[in-house]
Amino acid sequence: MAGRKATFFHLSERGGLIMQTLHDNPTIITYGTFDLFHVGHIRLLRRLSALGKRLIVGCSTDEFNEGKGKRTAIPYHHRVEILQSCRYVSKVIPENSWDQKRRDIVKYKVGLFAMGSDWAGKFDELNDLCDVIYLPRTQDVSTTELKELIQRMRVDKVA
Ligand code: CTP
């Protein structure tokens, strides 16, 4: 598998190779915080689940986020419960560290590692273990923007 090239969702170019890998190992994995679960998250998970048989989501724990200087509005166990209730998700695992991905890929026999395009290029080194793709993000929605909107709504209400 050495020498694979990570791809920015070039299914037309590499569809054959990706489909063969997924046929052999039809498990897909992705990671994220998924705070204030929104339509950008849903669309990513829906597109990913359509590519294989099983979608595993690594959900960032509150402690892991704190280490990155990120505070969530929804606590970890609630974010997990929301993800588990999503029909596109087969299994949710905790994301505790940056370096667990290689272990997870081997442990769960993952054929495809996928993230949104804000992470493009960041995980290419995993492509000795499985295919790596980055899907285009949904425009005009993010947890950060939702938090900013809620903040503005509170200020407007007070004013
Ligand atoms: N994502 C997406 N489209 C969006 C927002 C997120 O496809 N509009 C994807 C991200 O690229 C990532 C996954 O959803 O692969 C989880 O993203 P996360 O960081 O939890 O969500 P964001 O809304 O990007 O949160 P933040 O604003 O805190 O970065």
Q: Is the pLDDT of residue 156 over 90?
A: no
Residue 107 annotated among the catalytic residues of the structure? no
Instruction: For 16-65, give the DSSP string.
Output: HHHHHHHHHS-EEEEEE--TT--HHHHHHHHHHHTTSSEEEEEEEPHHHH
Q: Is the CB of 141 under 6 A from ligand 1?
A: yes
**Whether the predicted pLDDT of 33 surpasses 70:** yes
- CA 37 to centroid of ligand 1, rounded, Å: 9
Taking the C-alpha atoms of residue 112 and residue 91, their distance in angstroms, rounded to an integer, is 15
The one catalytic residue in 68, 107, 109, 122 is 68
Q: What is the pLDDT at residue 12?
A: 44
Instruction: Evaluate: CB of 32 within 6 angstroms of ligand 1.
Output: yes
Whole-model pTM: value is 0.90
Question: Distance, CA 159 to ligand 1 centroid (Å)?
Answer: 31
**Is the distance from the beta carbon of residue 114 to the nearest atom of ligand 1 less than 6 Å?**
no
Q: What is the pLDDT of residue 20?
A: 65
Given this model, what pLDDT does residue 35 score? 98
Residue with tokens 């998700």: 89
pLDDT surpasses 90 at 15:
no
- Read off the pLDDT of each residue in 43-69 and give the average, rounded to a whole number: 96
First-residue to last-residue Cα distance in the chain: 60
Ligand 1 centroid–CA 142 distance in Å is: 6
In this prediction, residues 14-24 reach a mean pLDDT of: 67
Rg (CA), the chain: 17
Q: Is 47 in the pocket of ligand 1 (CB under 6 A)?
A: no
Amino acid in the structure at residue 87: R
**Active-site annotation holds for 109:** no
What rounded mean pLDDT belongs to the chain? 90
**pLDDT tops 60 at residue 88:** yes
